[in-house]
């Protein structure tokens, strides 16, 4: 399985790029900071896919991706890390059935273990109860930045399997967007060192877990496509086609921190 679809952009990749712009999920501004403390000229927030149409379109795009790459035959349960991954797992499972008549289960984790109701006896870490002994699990999420959320959900799946006396088999990770950048490098005061590249986050994840990571879009091809097609994107609070200045700043950032 490839990290990205290579070659020309497929229709659903172009649709995803346009949706990222239309929903304001992809935006450019000054003073933005990543979770790891580094500055960034752009941000991606899948939480802004907050209407029925937008989340339905995301589900359709992921369903088409899973069918096209034949990943759909590799898993039994879609698991989306809370919170954003939860909605994405539901949307993808619904679209797989509605469009392709492929019925897959879905689940997502809790932020706190449930100890009442159906979780009274064992304390449920996951919500729907779709996980079963021997289940093949595909993790689905929005963005690859540091991959820390993906490491976390693997740990939760291991804990849940151990608690229930089950075995779960991770089938890999499917993501909508790869920021295609390296991890932060910190100094002795735990401050990120500016301009210093760490590891390729996705490659590091693959090496440590042995799992494949598939991504529908990379940020570089996304920006190139939106720029060439003059698609309006939110820049400093205003919607307009990506300016040459915005793209130049993006390219400098990629040169600084990209893989």
- Asked if residue 3 is part of any domain, the answer here is no
For position 121, what pLDDT does the model report? 41
For position 5, what pLDDT does the model report? 43
For position 146, what pLDDT does the model report? 87
Each residue's pLDDT tens digit, 55-75: 999 999 999 999 999 999 999
- Asked if residue 100 is part of any domain, the answer here is yes
Average pLDDT rounded to a whole number, residues 9-19: 92
- Asked if residue 5 is part of any domain, the answer here is no
pLDDT reading at 110 higher than 80: yes
Each residue's pLDDT tens digit, 196-231: 999 999 999 999 999 999 999 999 999 999 999 999
d(CA 110, CA 86): 10
- Asked if residue 205 is part of any domain, the answer here is yes
- Asked if residue 201 is part of any domain, the answer here is yes
Which residue among the candidates 116, 121, 190, 238 is catalytic per the annotation? 116
d(CA 55, CA 46): 9
pLDDT reading at 116 higher than 60: no
Each residue's pLDDT tens digit, 20-48: 999 999 999 999 999 899 999 999 999 99
- Asked if residue 114 is part of any domain, the answer here is yes
Each residue's pLDDT tens digit, 79-98: 999 999 999 999 999 999 99
- Asked if residue 20 is part of any domain, the answer here is yes
For position 8, what pLDDT does the model report? 67
CATH number at residue 242: 3.40.50.2020
Q: In the annotation, is 114 catalytic?
A: yes
Q: Tell me, what DSSP letter sits at residue 26?
A: E
**Of all helices (H) and strands (E), which one includes residue 137?**
strand 136-144
Which residue among the candidates 10, 114, 203, 227 is catalytic per the annotation? 114
Rg (CA), the chain: 19
End-to-end CA distance of the chain: 19
Number of domains in the chain: 1
Is pLDDT larger for residue 35 or for residue 135? 135
Burial 70-106 (b: 16+ CB within 10 A, else e): ebbebbbbbbbbbebbbbbbbbbbbbbeeeeeeebbb
Each residue's pLDDT tens digit, 150-209: 999 999 999 999 999 999 999 999 999 999 999 999 999 999 999 999 999 999 999 999
> How many other CB atoms are there within 10 angstroms of residue 21's CB atom?
22
Is pLDDT larger for residue 239 or for residue 259? 239
pTM of the predicted model as reported, rounded to 2 decimal places: 0.90
Sign of the torsion angle spanned by Cα atoms 45, 48, 50, 53: negative
pLDDT band of residue 119 (cuts 50, 70, 90) is: very low
Q: In the annotation, is 116 catalytic?
A: yes
For position 1, what pLDDT does the model report? 35
Contact 219, 180 (CB under 8 A): yes
Q: Which domain holds residue 127?
A: 11-257
- Asked if residue 2 is part of any domain, the answer here is no
């Amino acid at each position: 399985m490839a990290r990205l679809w290579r070659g020309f952009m497929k229709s659903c990749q172009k649709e995803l790029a346009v949706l990222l712009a239309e929903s304001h999920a992809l935006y450019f501004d000054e003073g933005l900071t990543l979770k790891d403390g580094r500055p960034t000229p752009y941000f991606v927030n899948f939480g802004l896919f907050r209407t029925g149409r937008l989340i339905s379109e995301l589900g359709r795009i992921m369903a088409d991706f899973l069918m096209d790459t034949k990943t759909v035959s590799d898993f039994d349960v879609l698991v989306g890390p809370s919170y954003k991954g939860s909605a994405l797992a539901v949307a993808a499972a619904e679209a797989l059935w509605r469009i392709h008549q492929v019925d897959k289960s879905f689940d997502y984790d809790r932020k706190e273990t449930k100890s009442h109701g159906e979780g009274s006896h064992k304390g449920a870490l996951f919500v729907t109860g779709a996980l079963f002994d021997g289940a093949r699990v595909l993790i689905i999420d929005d963005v690859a930045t540091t991959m820390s959320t993906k490491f976390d959900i693997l740990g939760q799946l291991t804990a849940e399997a151990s608690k229930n006396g089950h075995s779960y088999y991770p089938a890999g990770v499917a993501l909508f967007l790869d920021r295609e950048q390296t991890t932060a490098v910190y100094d002795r005061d735990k401050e990120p060192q500016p301009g210093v590249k760490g590891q390729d986050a996705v490659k590091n994840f693959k090496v440590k877990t042995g799992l494949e990571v598939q991504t529908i879009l990379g940020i570089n091809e996304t920006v190139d496509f939106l720029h060439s097609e003059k698609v309006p994107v939110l820049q400093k609070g205003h919607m307009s086609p990506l300016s040459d200045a915005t793209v130049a700043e993006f390219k400098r950032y990629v040169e600084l921190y990209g893989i």
